[in-house]
Amino acid sequence: MNWYLKCPEKKKNTRLFGFKNNAGGYELRNEYFKGSSSPKYVSYLDNKADTIKVFEGFFDLLTFQSMHQNEQNDPANLLVFNSLSFFERSLLLMEKHQSIDLYLENANRYIVYQVILETLPHCRSLDDLERKLQKQNIETLYKYKSHSTKLQGISFRIGYFKYKGSLFVSGNIFKLPL
């Protein structure tokens, strides 16, 4: 589907590529723009298969298909998250399959997300969460407002990879008093 984005500063329309999700919205891309129309949701292609191939974004799926277009592959269902916030909601769908093939840009992000989801219900405070994550080799880092003790942000580190807490806040999993 072709979409057009009005660019008043350039006084012209820009063509976008759209990839439909299962709620009727679209992931929209071109060389200048990355966004979506409402509602935002996952894209699931049901090919009636026992295997599911999971991708982070639709360009990851398109890249995979382009790289493997001349190969004879077994049929598979295809799932594109379109956002990390849909990871948890997609677990039941993924678990219905006999085989799950993950093609994620950064699998550590999903590991951190899943560990936080499993740990959070057993925590009474942010300090409690930090101690429990530390046992899973996930470091909790804090950012404070300038010249203040007021907490401004949180991030998590696993190995060499660091993720902003806002990624997880957008998934609505933080319910602890700061």
Report the half-sphere exposure of 124 (CA within 13 A, side-chain side). Answer: 0
pTM above 0.75, yes or no: no
Q: What is the pLDDT of residue 93?
A: 93
User: Which parts of the chain register pLDDT below 50?
Assistant: 167-178
Q: What is the pLDDT of residue 108?
A: 72
Query: Could you count the other beta carbons within 10 Å of the beta carbon of residue 156?
Result: 23
Burial class of residue 16 (count of CB atoms within 10 Å of its CB; 0-12, 13-18, 19+): buried
- Report the candidate in 173, 136, 140 with the shortest Cα–Cα distance to residue 154: 140
pLDDT in tens, 99-127: 888 887 766 777 787 788 788 888 888 88
Q: Cα(167)–Cα(84) distance, rounded to whole angstroms? A: 7
Beta bridge partners of 155: 141, 164
Q: Cα(133)–Cα(175) distance, rounded to whole angstroms? A: 16
Q: What is the pLDDT of residue 96?
A: 93
The answer to whether the bond into 121 is cis (omega within 30° of 0) is no
Query: What are the start-end ranges of the E strands in the chain?
Result: 2-7, 12-20, 26-29, 34-36, 43-45, 51-55, 77-80, 99-103, 139-144, 151-158, 161-164
User: Domains of the chain: which residue ranges?
Assistant: 2-102, 108-169
Beta bridge partners of 19: 27
